[in-house]
Structures are given as structure tokens and as C-alpha cells.
Structure 1
Amino acid sequence: MARFAMPTWMPVRKHTEVSDETHVADVATEDSDASAVRRLSIGRGPVGDIAAGPRAIAVANPADDTLTLLDPHTLAERAVLGLDGEPTGVVVSDDRAYVSVTSAQQDAVVVVDVETAGVTATFPVASGITALAVGPDGKRLYAGRASADRVEVTVIDVTAERAGTIDIGKGPAANIDALALDPRGRRLLVAVTDDRGSQLVIVDAETARVQRVVPVRSPLRDLACAGDTVYALTSDRTIGGAVHVIDLATARVTGTIAVGGAPTQLSLSRDEARVYVVDYDRVHVVDATRLEVVDALTAPVRPSCVAHSADGGELFLADYTGGLSVHAVESTIGMLYSQFLATEPFALSVRQPVGV
């Protein structure tokens, strides 16, 4: 059974350094019937992660330790912020972007005001962050961490500027691969994988206590939540990729959609009707109602990550050359085709269930 420790709070360190370096994005627009596809180059190496909010799109650039902020409507570059370390993940709330960074000196979560493009605070953490999630009201930030076979979630109270720790459990080579919250922010979903497999750990976000544990077996890669339904992405070398449908009310896997390949990330459409799965040479489009793959978006280079716009009308697809493609997704799925080239697959290890 998972073990829980009451939060122990740590202070925040203020940080105000902002890079004055700028870069002009190269934007091109193509109109095709009712669907528009826009492409631009961030120009800072592979895109490590992307998140979109109503006021900004945040792009993590690990190659040069920067965060690029784009206007969510025009895609114009607002600012490029220099970070004290390599950005490994980013999430966005209404007016803040939260970036996990790692360096030889320390690992931390950096808080960025997207309106002023200023770094307002830095929260040091004890070990590297492997997953981020932010509550629907933006008041709590969750950072998944692993250290010495133990997995924990750091909970940051953004308003009070203090942080605590939820002890999830331990297992051989255990790691937190993804975090998600239900739409009301009442349940924290933790994807845990170790040498024996994976499981979804369901945590009460208010009491910080583990409620249920759902075995999934294959290594978990990402999570998305729609009400009482969780879409859990798994991938391993033997079975390939799959999206598992988990009912939070019964804590059971109720369906599985095989997608093949070696997928790494997913994004759920705003209407909760489609799941977009990032694979090594394409993006699979999964019908969440029929539980089947209905389409595939192909890309000129290997896609790295994907995110939906705040209103759900656009899909942002980033790649390993620093490019970004924007697709209209409120029209029919058939309008979403692009031209992508396949790239080399990568191997993932097979693991068995973790005992937490």
C-alpha cells in the first residue's frame, strides 16, 4: 500500500533575472477550405515541452536553457527568458507559466508572469522533476519527483509561496512519468512506473491521501482526465503503444485502444471526443467514443510534444527541429492531414507492476 507523509513546507527563493535576448519567429500561413495550418520556427533547437493558456503559449527550449512566450492568437514572439538550468517541462495557468529546470547547482520550479514576461519566483526541489500539473484555479502546482526508489509529489501553494511533499510510495527504479488532475481539481492522478510495471495512483488532492491504485502493467507515458474517465498512455518495446480507459469510480481499466509505435505524449480535445497521441513519426487521432484510431497526422520531422489551445480550437504540434505547426481542430478530422516524414523509432524497456 502506498505510504503518505504530511506536507513539510519549504520557503520560496525569489528570482528576477530575465534574458533580454530576442528571436523573431518565422511564421507562414496556409489556408485550405475551413481549416488553417500555420507553421513557425522557434529556432532554438528541439522543443522539449509546450503548454498553452488563454494569455500565452509557453515553449521549453532545453538546447539553450530558455523559455519562449508566444502570443496565443497571432503566434508572435513576446519574449525569450533565460533560465538557470535546462527546462524539462512546462504547464500554464491563466497568467502564469511554471517551468521545471535542472542544473548542476539545483533543480527547481520557476514561476513566470506571462504578461510581463518576468520570472517572479523560484521553488528549489530536492531532486529532478519528472512531471508537472497545475490545478484548475492555478493556486496549486504539483511536481512529480523520484529519489532512491521513492516517488514523491511536491505540492506548491502558489499564493502562500510555500511547498509540501506527498510521499506516494517506493519500488525498484520507481519513477513518476505523468501527473494530471480531474476537472475540479479534487483528485490528483499519478502515473508510476518501476522495474516491475506501472500503475495509476489516485490521490485525494484535499487530504493528500492515496485513495486507490490501478495496475496498468506497461510503462505509463502520459495522462489526460475527462470527468471520471482517465486516458492513460502506455508504451513498451514488446506491445507497442496503447491508450487505456480507466474509470475513476470503479478504479478499473474499462477499455484499451492499441496505437502501435512508441508514443510519448497525449492531449485530450476540449470536447473530450478525441485523444491526440504523439508517436515517433506521427500523431494518432483516437475517437474517445468509439475507442478506435480514426486518423493520423504526419509531420515533416519527428514530433516532440502537443498541446491544445485554451479554447480548444487549435492543436499545437512541436518538433525536434524547433518547429511548430498549428491545426484547426473544431472542423472535421479529415481536415487535419499534414505532410510528415517518418523517423527512426526508439526503444523502450518492458517493466512489471510496481508495488506501492
Structure 2
Amino acid sequence: MNHGPIADLSANAGAVVAANYGDASVSVVRPDSAGAPARVPVGGEPLAVALTDDRAFVVVSAAEADAVQVIDTRTNAVLATYPLAFTVTAVAASPDGKRAYAARAGHDHVDVAVIDTTAERVGTVDIALGATSVIDSLAVDPSGRRLYVAVTTSTGSRLVVVDTETAKARKSIALGAPIRDLAVAADGTVYVLTSDLAARGVIEVIDPRTFAITAGIGAGTLPIQMALSANGALAYVVDYDEVAVLCTVTREVVETITVGARPMAAALNTPGDRLYIADVDGNVTAFRVAAPAPMYSPFDAAAFDQVRELAPAGV
């Protein structure tokens, strides 16, 4: 059974979680299991999902309030619901799963709600003022000490870095075009996907030590999302009707992937050897890809010869 378009997708070593926004549910898929995907009702439209080892943090939009729901991906049970003021636009989780970060847009400002799942409390990090401001994406570095916040306003976009220990914004850098997605490699390098009609898609590469842009890589026409290999060598960019496999070293597209319908989201599993693509028809397709290798190693295009379709998400 198909549960409609998928808004977001996240994966780890043992599970894939898809947000079925038209069905008020998420699907938990276990690629190495013969069982059917589990459908977990969430009581509203799920818009974004962040996945740790055994927890999925799901942004749910409902008439009463937006919220972040915590789902145990082993039991498929909703463990907690955190109603939040204002409109929630993105979510990220700390590597240990003890904190979730929810981006919010208020009447005249944007901030990040910090959900401490151990202490069962919610704090706030103020980010920016302005009625037109919105946070389009969040990403936590592998150490858990830095939270990157993508802020778009009527005049451009900025990447803000937050110290997660002090809950204070420390630095920001102007990028211009709207930010569509963020990813952080294992070495802390930040990859920022931007796009607009003038510049088209660009991945800005930022050195976390100097917080300076070190490269700008062309990335499609109007991309909406990306998945990044752990070593930062490959970016899987979701464009209008395909997923482009971009080598960030040579700055070349080494492969393009199409599925049965328009792709909406992509995610890599933790080992980095499986790519999952969700489409507008509600299907999730799995591809075996080359696992992360040293930056000088070429992309193994032959890995795409092995393709296995999963059952439609939400079955």
C-alpha cells in the first residue's frame, strides 16, 4: 500500500525512516529484514526526520501545534512528544541522541529549540530577527559541539555556527543564495547546498577552523537536498528529476540516478554503502554504492549495477 509522497528520509546502519506527510505517518524500513515496513502514526503531517542509532526525531505539523516526536526504531513506538511554539522547519540530532534541535520561525525572529531528552526539558538558542527569516536546514558536527544553522532572509542567506555547550551563536558567514541543505563530513568540513534561478545549484565548502569558504562546486539546476559521504568525497544531490553523484574532489558529476518518479529526498546509511532515494509516489529505492574511501580514490560507478527496490515506504 502506498502512503503518498515522502517529505524527508533518514538512514543509519539498520533502518530507514521515511516521513509520509500525506498519510500522517512515518515508515520504518529494515533493509536487511524480510518483514514489511512498519507504519507509525504521528498525528499530523511529518515534514522532517533526523535519525540516531535507535531514535527517530520527527517534525510533525498539526492544527494544535507543531511538535517533535521521538520514535524508538526498534519497537516502532512513539516515546515522547514535544509540542513547540511557532512553526518548526527543520530538525537535527546530536550524535549520542540525547539532544534534538528544532528550527522555529516566529512572527519576527527565528530560533532553535534544544530538546534535552535526558532531562526532559526544552531550551532556546536565539538566531536572528526579521519577519521574513526562516531556517531551512540544521546539521550537527560529528563531535556534537557545533550546530550549523542555515538562515534565509529577504536579502540573502547566512550560515550560523552555534556552540552547543553554551547554546550561543558564535559566528556567521554570508552566502547569498538560499540554503537548501547542510552536511558535515567526518573531519568537520561543512558542505552547504545553495540554489536560485541566477546561480543555479552550488555546494559551498567551508573550513570549520577558519569558517571561510574554500570552494564552490556547481551542483545541478535547482537542487533541493543532498546526502554526503562520510569523507566528503561524494555528494548525492537531489535535483528536479534525478540524483546527481558529484565528486567534490574533481568537481565533476560522475553518475546520474533516476527512479520511477520525481526524487524528493536521499539518505546514506551509516556505513555509506547504501543510498536510499524517496520519490513523490511514495517509494524508496535502495542502491548499493561504493563505501567511503580515501579522498584520492575514484568513485566506483559499477556499484550502481546492483540495484534492489524496497517495498513502497509505509506498506
TM-score by length of 2: 0.90
For the pair 1:238 / 2:206, whether they are aligned, the reply is no
**In 2 relative to 1, CA 99–75 (structure 1 residues): closer, same or farther, beyond 3 Å?**
farther
Distance 1:81 1:312 in 2: 26
Q: Quick one: distance in 2 between partners of 1:334 and 1:178? A: 32
- CA distance in 2: counterparts of 1:127 and 1:136, whole angstroms: 26
1:263 aligned partner, one-letter code: P
Q: How do 1:326-337 residues align onto structure 2 when only pairs under 5 Å count?
A: 326-330=286-290, 332-336=300-304
CA distance in 1, matches of 2:231, 2:212: 23
Give me the whole-angstrom Cα distance separating, in 2, the residues matched to 1:322 and 1:54: 22
Does structure 2 conserve the Cα–Cα contact (< 8 Å) formed by 1:60 and 1:66?
yes
Give per-residue Cα distances to partners, 1:35-69, cap 9 Å, x unaligned: xxxxxxxx110111111123421111011101111
> Which residue among 99, 108, 124 is the counterpart of 1:140?
99
1:75 and 1:305 map into 2 onto residues whose CA distance is 24
Find the counterpart in structure 1 of residue 313 from structure 2: none
Secondary structure class of the residue paired with 1:77: coil
Superposed CA offset, 1:260-310 (max 9, x none): 311000111133320111001111111122233332222331100000112
Is 1:52 the equivalent of 2:11? Answer: yes
Contact 1:257 1:293 in 2 (8 A): no
For the residue of structure 1 that corresponds to 2:6, the secondary structure is coil
Name the structure 2 match of 1:203: 162
The equivalent position to 2:213 in structure 1, one of 244, 253, 269, is 253
Between stretches 321-330 and 48-57, larger displacement belongs to 48-57
**Cross-structure match for 2:120:** 161
Give the TM-score normalised by the residue count of structure 1: 0.80
* CA–CA separation in structure 2 for the residues paired with 1:145 and 1:50: 20
Q: Distance in 1 between matches of 2:145 and 2:250?
A: 28
How far, CA to CA, are the matches of 1:280 and 1:161 in structure 2?
40
How many residue pairs match? The answer is: 298
- Contact 2:220–2:244 (CA under 8 A) maintained in structure 1: no
Shift of 1:75: 6.7
The CA distance in 1 between the partners of 2:270 and 2:219, in whole Å, is: 26
Cα distance change on mapping 1:75 and 1:280 into 2, 3 Å: farther
Q: Check the 8 A contact 2:246/2:255 in 1, yes or no.
A: yes
Could you tell me whether the CA contact under 8 Å between 2:142 and 2:188 is conserved in 1?
A: no
The higher-RCO structure (CA 8 Å, 6+ apart) is 1
Structure-1 separation of matches of 2:131 and 2:154:
6
Q: For the residues of structure 1 that align with 2:286 and 2:35, how far apart are their CA atoms?
A: 13
Q: What is the correspondence of 1:24-63 to structure 2 with a 5 Å cutoff?
A: 43-63=2-22
- Contact 2:287 2:306 (8 Å CA) reproduced: no
Aligned to 1:109: 68
Task: Find the counterpart in structure 2 of residue 74 from structure 1.
Answer: 33
Q: Structure 1 residues 71, 228: closer, same or farther in 2, change over 3 A?
A: closer
Is 1:271 aligned with 2:239? no
Instruction: Please state how far the C-alpha of 1:168 moved relative to its aligned partner.
Output: 0.7
CA distance in 2, matches of 1:86, 1:337: 35
Q: Paired residue for 1:123?
A: 82
- Give the structure 2 partner of residue 191 of structure 1: 150
Tell me how far 1:78 sits from its aligned partner: 4.3
User: Gaps (5+ residues) in structure 2?
Assistant: 292-299, 308-315
Displacement of 1:95 in angstroms is 1.2
Q: Bigger radius of gyration, 1 or 2?
A: 1
Paired AA for residue 56 in structure 1:
A
Say whether residues 1:288 and 2:248 are aligned partners: yes
Q: Which runs of 5+ in 1 are unaligned?
A: 1-22, 24-42, 340-356
Question: Quick one: which amino acid aligns to residue 238 of structure 2?
Answer: V
CA contact (8 A) 1:112 1:121 kept: yes
Q: Percent of pairs identical after alignment?
A: 43
Partner of 2:173: 214
Following superposition, the deviation at residue 223 of structure 1 comes to 0.3
CA RMSD of aligned residues (A): 1.7
C-alpha spacing 1:75/1:69, structure 2 compared with 1 (3 Å): farther
Work out the CA distance in 2 between the residues paired with 1:114 and 1:173.
36
Q: Which amino acid aligns with 1:114?
A: T
Find out whether 1:65 has 2:24 as its counterpart.
yes
- 8 Å contact from structure 1 (residues 201, 212) kept in 2: yes
Shift of 1:149: 3.1
Q: Who is 1:228 aligned against?
A: 188
Letter in 2 for 1:116: T
Give the letter aligned to residue 211 of structure 2.
A
- Aligned mates of 2:199, 2:132 — CA distance in 1: 21
The answer to whether the 8 Å contact 1:239/1:260 transfers is no
Q: Structure 1: which amino acid aligns with 2:210?
A: T
Report how far residue 169 of structure 1 moved: 1.2
Contact 1:106/1:125, CA 8 A, preserved across alignment: yes
Q: Is the 1:256–1:291 contact (alpha carbons within 8 Å) kept by the matching residues of 2?
A: no
Q: Which amino acid aligns with 1:237?
A: L
